[in-house]
């Protein structure tokens, strides 16, 4: 709120006289000027702006300007106020009637889906987007309140069939924009039946870690696995470590539909916090359907092509075991039903100093898989 004023307050007789000017919102004093046994005079118009009325947001209130004076009998006192150019909020500006723009970027139109699927959208608005909703056949399935906007949809919660997907973005004024040009088919299960959950321990003989320069050059096999575990992050030799875990997943039926998976690892020790350098660093997981190389650890595993990259991540932990986030759709597809599945763990950004963590392998690392037979 803003306004301009000129005041003439007089009470210069004794301490029992006063004159005042007040601005009230309902009965609450919001802004005031009071003199006791003194005079006050604005020789020019005074501007008061950026006065905060947020405590009364979305309320109907009475705004009152009040001038008053008191004195003993026969003692002169007065309060005179001239007020002009009162402005509240953005009342002079037109209402926001422009809807946000939104685009549902994943999954692709025409895709066949099963298990957990990432619904992804981008949205923008001149003032700001407050939320994005995700709908399937008109029913709300998820909401994200901040960018990047996404929601993991468990398609096991719905029947097999065709679905029209929609992303709907809202701004603070309640305007809504939508994108509803994506159609998909949900197809879960091969032979039906209840979901099966199985846990695969890693093959310690094929596990290990590789170190290399930040650009991936001069890779070398790590040598402390038997005593320390698998290293991740930047070591004291300024090399960057990546860990390889191997799982024999060939017992999953060929006809099964993998609907969920996570990686669970055990903490051994650490030096500093590799997740904090740089800020926001993530411990990412790449998957290979089969082996990155010859299945036994080799230096080429450091940068070998994966079947799916960044399928999930592991947040910072300092004791016990930690489960990764649920694997995305690409990660579920990369889990082999006929041979090994290898996981490569790496930090997404290079640490600026010596920060690393040691994790276990063998029985200390497991791949948890859920599937429909």
In a domain, 92, yes or no: no
Q: What is the pLDDT of residues 102-130, one digit of tens each?
A: 999 999 998 989 889 999 999 999 889 99
In a domain, 94, yes or no: no
Separation of alpha carbons 238 and 218, rounded Å: 12
pLDDT of residue 84: 84
243 and 336 fall within a common domain: yes
pLDDT of residue 222: 95
Share of the chain above pLDDT 70, in %: 95
30 pLDDT band, cuts 50/70/90, is: confident
Which residues neighbour 371 within 8 Å (Cβ) at sequence distance 6 or greater? 195, 196, 198, 252, 253, 256, 257, 258, 259
pLDDT of residue 78: 80
63 and 107 fall within a common domain: no
The candidate with the shortest Cα–Cα distance to 126, out of 151, 159, 101, 145, is 101
Count of structural domains within the chain: 3
Rounded mean pLDDT, 358-365: 94
249 and 325 fall within a common domain: yes
Rounded mean pLDDT, 18-26: 88
227 and 306 fall within a common domain: yes
pLDDT of residue 272: 95
Angle subtended at Cα 233 by Cα 366 and Cα 297, rounded to the nearest 5 degrees: 55
Check if the beta carbon of residue 371 is closer than 8 Å to that of residue 252: yes
Q: Of 186, 216, 249, which closes a domain?
A: 186
189 pLDDT band, cuts 50/70/90, is: low
340 and 201 fall within a common domain: yes
Q: What domain range is 50 assigned to?
A: 2-87
74 pLDDT band, cuts 50/70/90, is: low
204 and 289 fall within a common domain: yes
Q: What is the pLDDT of residues 318-333, one digit of tens each?
A: 999 999 999 999 999 9
323 and 208 fall within a common domain: yes
pLDDT of residue 193: 60
Mean of pLDDT over the chain? 90
288 pLDDT band, cuts 50/70/90, is: very high
Q: Of 128, 156, 186, which closes a domain?
A: 186
**Structure-block tokens of residue 255:** 């006809």
CB-based burial label for 201 (10 Å; 0-12, 13-18, 19+):
middle
pLDDT of residue 38: 83
SS (H, E, C) 20-87: EEEEEECCEEEEEEEEECCEEECCCCEEECCCCCHHHCCCCCCEEEEEEEECCCCCCCEEEEEEEEEE
Q: Of 186, 209, 224, which closes a domain?
A: 186
> Residue 126: which CATH number?
2.60.40.10
214 and 76 fall within a common domain: no
Q: What is the DSSP string of 111-172?
A: -EE-SEEEEEEEEE-SS-EEEEEEEETTEEEEEE-SSSEEEEEEGGGS-SEEEEEEEEEEET
pLDDT of residue 82: 87
Separation of alpha carbons 105 and 355, rounded Å: 36
> Residue 235: which CATH number?
2.60.120
Cβ neighbours around 51 below 10 Å, total = 13
76 and 131 fall within a common domain: no
**Structure-block tokens of residue 366:** 């497991």
In a domain, 270, yes or no: yes
Check if the beta carbon of residue 198 is closer than 8 Å to that of residue 369: yes
pLDDT of residue 267: 97
Rounded mean pLDDT, 238-248: 97
pLDDT of residue 244: 97
157 and 235 fall within a common domain: no
pLDDT of 277 strictly over 70: yes
pLDDT of residue 192: 52
pLDDT of 45 strictly over 90: no
Picking from 89-93, 216-220, 268-272, 346-350, which range would have the lowest pLDDT averaged per residue? Answer: 89-93
Check if the beta carbon of residue 39 is closer than 8 Å to that of residue 20: no
pLDDT of residue 264: 97
164 and 215 fall within a common domain: no
Separation of alpha carbons 133 and 106, rounded Å: 14
Side-by-side strand order, sheet with 63-70: 28-36, 18-25, 63-70
pLDDT of residue 18: 82
In a domain, 93, yes or no: no
| pTM value > 0.75 | no
Which residues neighbour 175 within 8 Å (Cβ) at sequence distance 6 or greater? 96, 97, 98, 99, 100, 125
* Straight-line distance from the first to the last Cα atom of the chain, in angstroms, rounded to the nearest whole number: 65
Q: What is the pLDDT of residues 195-222, one digit of tens each?
A: 889 999 999 999 999 999 999 999 999 9
pLDDT of 317 strictly over 80: yes
156 and 223 fall within a common domain: no
pLDDT of residue 136: 94
In a domain, 191, yes or no: no
The values of phi and psi at residue 299, to 5°, are -65, -25
Residue bearing the bigger pLDDT, 173 or 251: 251
In a domain, 262, yes or no: yes
In a domain, 181, yes or no: yes
In a domain, 129, yes or no: yes
Check if the beta carbon of residue 112 is closer than 8 Å to that of residue 184: yes
């Amino acid at each position: 709120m803003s306004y301009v004023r000129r005041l003439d307050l007089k009470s210069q007789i004794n301490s029992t006289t006063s004159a005042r000017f007040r601005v009230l919102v309902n009965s609450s004093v919001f802004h005031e000027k009071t003199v006791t046994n003194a005079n006050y005079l604005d020789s020019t118009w005074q501007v008061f702006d950026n006065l905060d009325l947020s405590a009364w947001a979305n309320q109907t209130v009475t705004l009152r300007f009040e001038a008053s004076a008191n004195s003993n009998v026969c003692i002169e006192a007065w309060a005179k106020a001239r007020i002009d150019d009162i402005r509240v909020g953005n009342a002079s500006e037109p209402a926001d009637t422009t809807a946000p723009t939104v685009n549902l970027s994943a999954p692709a139109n025409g895709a066949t889906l099963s298990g957990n699927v990432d619904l992804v959208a981008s949205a923008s608005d001149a003032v700001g987007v407050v939320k994005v909703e995700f709908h399937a056949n008109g029913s709300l399935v998820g909401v994200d309140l901040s960018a990047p906007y996404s929601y993991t949809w468990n398609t096991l919660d719905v029947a097999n069939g065709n679905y029209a997907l929609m992303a709907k973005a809202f701004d603070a004024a309640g305007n809504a924009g939508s994108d509803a040009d994506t159609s998909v088919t949900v197809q879960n299960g091969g032979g039906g039946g209840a979901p099966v959950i199985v846990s695969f321990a890693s093959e310690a003989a094929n596990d290990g870690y590789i170190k290399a320069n930040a650009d991936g050059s001069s890779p070398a096999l790590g040598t402390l696995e038997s005593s320390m575990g698998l290293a991740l992050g930047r070591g004291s030799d300024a090399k960057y470590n990546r860990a390889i875990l191997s799982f024999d997943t060939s017992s999953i039926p060929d006809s099964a539909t993998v609907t969920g998976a996570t990686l669970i690892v055990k903490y051994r020790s650490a030096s500093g916090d590799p997740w904090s350098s740089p800020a926001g660093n993530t411990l990412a997981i790449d998957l290979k359907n089969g082996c990155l190389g010859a299945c036994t650890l080799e230096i080429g595993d450091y940068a070998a092509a994966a079947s799916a990259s960044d399928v999930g991540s592991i947040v910072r932990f300092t004791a016990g075991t930690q489960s990764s986030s649920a694997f995305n759709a690409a990660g579920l597809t990369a889990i082999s039903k006929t041979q090994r599945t290898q996981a490569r763990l790496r930090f997404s950004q290079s640490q600026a100093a010596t920060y690393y963590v040691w994790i276990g392998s063998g029985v200390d690392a497991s791949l948890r898989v859920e599937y429909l037979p």
